[in-house]
Amino acid sequence: MSFAELFPIQFLSGAEWQAIIPLLIMSLSSVLALLFSPLHDKGRLVSFTTLTAGSVLALLALVFMVPDAPVPVLGGILIIDRLSQIFSALTVSAGLAAAFMTLGYDQREKIHAEVYSLIAFAVAGMMILVSTRDLMVLFIGLELMSLAVYVLVSMRRQAAMAAEAGLKYFLLGGVASAILLYGVSLLYGSTGSLKFDVIGQGLSRLWQTGTPMLPVAGLVMVAIGFLFKVGAVPFHVWIPDVYTGASTPVTGFMISGVKAAAIGALLRFSADVFALPGLLMVGGSFYWILWAIIAFTLLFGALVGLRQSSLKRMLAYSTIAHTGYVLLGFLALIVGQKEGAADAIVSYTLFYVVMNLGGFAVLTLLSPEGSDEPSLQDLAGLGQRRPYLAFALSLFLLSMAGIPPTAGFFGKYYLFMSAMSAGELGLTILAVLGSVISAAFYLRPLVYMYMRPADETSVSEPRWFGSSAVVGLAAVLTLVMGLIPSWFSSLMK
């Protein structure tokens, strides 16, 4: 028996190597950052630099080495194409922003230097997650990301909330992963493959002969796994506590990076499997279940967000509402509006990541020492005290509310448009209703910043460089994307 038969290692071609360079860079820098972090005194700085350098290199590679045609790596375990490049770039940027936001904050809250390597590991997991069309690799990417994030959530050792949040996220996330994995096994059992497209073809064949329970149960379980990660009602229960308990930069990272990765993976899976023409007919009620999930997600996030007095918690609930908008795009995709809906989802994710990173960078700067949870009251008089910071936060909030000329407006418009083209008038009206309700709570911080005088007791906010840089960049992007959105859309074509 020869060596090659004993160890069937496939060798990568030049094009394949080139395609996975960004992923390799991220993986390498995550390991290096981990190795450097215990360095006495300098560990923090060195691992931060490693992560930043790695992220920047990966971003450059992603931007300048776009393959003309999709490159399948190792027989399709990974697919590097336009979509994976865009979502990888988004997640790398989210990781980079999270690292910058952690700068300064980590020293005050006594967070270990390993935080940077964990961010890098999570980003590497996200990149795998969005570049695969193989369920097993998808699961590996998902777990690589999730395990790193579980630790990130509970890293703020001073706070009891953080440990609780980490445990909650770990337990629930574990259950969700298990359900997803079970679904994967059912799909594998009924179609004999783990590849998205083969599963899709297999399912189409099966549906011609009736409604087989096994693959449908598998699909439902996979869907639950995804819905958990994007935080749709009723799989949202972990969101408020976990997002509040985690340290603010980590929350920002989860809200932007983790969610973008989950949306990217879901988009790939939907294009191949969920958007099969027969699926909505199977069982008949599939469509209405999805419809109800979207409707509840849209309204729940808005209604509960209205009652929050903590800014972080408010934004946590608001992300549930945003999930509702994205799912609106997915419904359009599944109903058959493939092109428009996919574009709308990608654009919205981009805009969403930018405005949330900006928002959470502001929150990081506002977070009071010890509690880490700025209340609305803390914002009083911010318009006088820190006019530029207040302006940036207003911009992000208005963008989330969907008011032109900000990025969020176009994101929302694209999704409305795709929903309308799929004939979903009812859900669009519900989305409008949700928007109006959430506008009420997006405006409340503005009331405090500009219309209430500052407290006597209010302390001045820290002026960390990293978070300020993220705020500035995100604010500029939010405005520019709102003024020339076509430029960003053309980037994605």
Partner 1 sequence: MNQLLSWMIFLPAVGAALILLLPNARVAKPLGILISAVVAVMGVMLWFNFDPEALGPQFVIKQPWLPAMGVSFEVALDGLNLPLVVFTALLTPLAFLGTWSLPANATDTLQKRMTALVLLMECGALGTFLSQDLFLFYVFWEVILIPAYLLIGMYGGADRVKTTLQFFIYTFAGSLLMLVGIAWLIYAQKSTTGEFSASMIELQNLRFAFDPQAGWGGILSAQGLLFAAFAAAFFVKSPLVPFHAWLPSTYTQAPTLVTIYLAAILSKMGTYGILKILLPLFPDAARAFGPTLMWLAAIGIVYGALLAIVQKNLKTAIAYSSLSHVSYILLGLFSLTPSGMNGALLQMVNHGIAISGLFLLVGHLEKSRGSLELAAFGGLAKTTPLLATSFMVMVLSSVALPGTNGFVGEFMVLVSSFRVDSGATILAATGMVLGAVYMLNLYQKTMFGGASQDAPAGAVWADLSVKEIVVMAALSAAVVGIGVAPQGYLARSKVAIEATVKHISPETVEPDQSGRVSNF
Cα gap 326→265, rounded to integer Å: 13
Q: Which stretch binds partner 1 (CB under 8 A): 176-184, 258-266, 323-331, 420-428?
A: 420-428
173 binds partner 1 (CB under 8 A): no
Q: Which stretch binds partner 1 (CB under 8 A): 37-45, 94-102, 112-120, 443-451?
A: 443-451
Closer residue to partner 1 (CB): 32 or 393: 393
Q: What is the DSSP string of 375-435?
A: BGGGGTTHHHH-HHHHHHHHHHHHHHHT-SSSHHHHHHHHHHHHHHHTT-HHHHHHHHHHH
- Nearest approach in angstroms of CB 394 to partner 1 is 8
Closer residue to partner 1 (CB): 287 or 413: 413
435 binds partner 1 (CB under 8 A): yes
Q: Which residues, 104 to 163, sit near partner 1 by CB under 8 A? A: none
314 binds partner 1 (CB under 8 A): no
- Nearest approach in angstroms of CB 473 to partner 1 is 19
Closer residue to partner 1 (CB): 98 or 449: 449
Closer residue to partner 1 (CB): 274 or 416: 416
- Picking from 240, 234, 425, the residue whose alpha carbon sits closest to that of residue 315 is 240
Q: Burial letters for 30-41: b for 16+ Cβ neighbours within 10 Å, e otherwise?
A: bbbbbebbeeee
Q: Which residues, 193 to 222, sit near partner 1 by CB under 8 A? A: none
Q: What tokens does 270 get?
A: 């939907």
- Picking from 421, 360, 489, the residue whose alpha carbon sits closest to that of residue 94 is 360
Q: What is the DSSP string of 103-131?
A: TTHHHHTT--TTHHHHHHHHHHHHHHHHT
By the 8 A CB rule, do 395 and 362 touch? no
485 binds partner 1 (CB under 8 A): yes
- Nearest approach in angstroms of CB 420 to partner 1 is 5
Say how many residues touch partner 1, by CB under 8 A: 29
- Nearest approach in angstroms of CB 229 to partner 1 is 29
29 binds partner 1 (CB under 8 A): no
Closer residue to partner 1 (CB): 21 or 420: 420
User: Please, which residues have CB within 8 angstroms of residue 113's CB and are 6 or more apart in sequence?
Assistant: 37, 38, 39, 43, 44, 47, 106
Q: Which stretch binds partner 1 (CB under 8 A): 58-66, 167-175, 397-405, 469-477?
A: 397-405
Closer residue to partner 1 (CB): 250 or 376: 376
By the 8 A CB rule, do 408 and 322 touch? no
- Omega of the bond prior to 445 within 30 degrees of 0, cis? no
Q: In this chain, which of 171, 292, 429, 491 binds partner 1, going by CB under 8 A?
A: 429
420 binds partner 1 (CB under 8 A): yes
440 binds partner 1 (CB under 8 A): yes
Number of helices (H) and strands (E), helices first, in the chain? 23, 2
454 binds partner 1 (CB under 8 A): no
Describe the crossing of helices 82-102 and 338-366 by its angle, rounded to 10 degrees: 10
Cα gap 224→234, rounded to integer Å: 10
Closer residue to partner 1 (CB): 368 or 405: 405
- Nearest approach in angstroms of CB 70 to partner 1 is 23
For 304-346, the three-class secondary structure string (H helix, E strand, C coil) is: HHCCCCEHHHHHHHHHHHHHHHHHHHHHHHHHCCHHHHHHHHH
Query: Which segments within 15-121 are labelled E, that is strand?
Result: 71-73, 78-80
416 binds partner 1 (CB under 8 A): yes
Torsion of CA 489, 322, 84, 120, to 10 degrees: 120
Cα gap 23→47, rounded to integer Å: 18
Q: What tokens does 285 get?
A: 């009620």
Q: In this chain, which of 377, 413, 462, 480 binds partner 1, going by CB under 8 A?
A: 413
By the 8 A CB rule, do 192 and 215 touch? no
Q: Which stretch binds partner 1 (CB under 8 A): 88-96, 127-135, 440-448, 453-461?
A: 440-448
Closer residue to partner 1 (CB): 173 or 411: 411
Closer residue to partner 1 (CB): 108 or 385: 385
The three-class DSSP label of residue 195 is: strand
Q: In this chain, which of 357, 446, 475, 477 binds partner 1, going by CB under 8 A?
A: 446
Q: In this chain, which of 28, 174, 450, 454 binds partner 1, going by CB under 8 A?
A: 450
Closer residue to partner 1 (CB): 305 or 402: 402
21 binds partner 1 (CB under 8 A): no
443 binds partner 1 (CB under 8 A): yes
Q: In this chain, which of 248, 428, 468, 478 binds partner 1, going by CB under 8 A?
A: 428
The three-class DSSP label of residue 237 is: coil
Torsion of CA 217, 150, 253, 64, to 10 degrees: -80
Q: Which residues, 356 to 395, sit near partner 1 by CB under 8 A? A: 384
User: Please, which residues have CB within 8 angstroms of residue 199's CB and are 6 or more apart in sequence?
Assistant: 135, 187, 191, 193, 272, 273
- Nearest approach in angstroms of CB 428 to partner 1 is 5
436 binds partner 1 (CB under 8 A): yes
Residues that bind partner 1 (CB under 8 A): 384, 398, 402-405, 409, 413, 416-417, 420-421, 425, 428-429, 432, 435-436, 439-440, 443, 446-447, 450-451, 484-486, 489
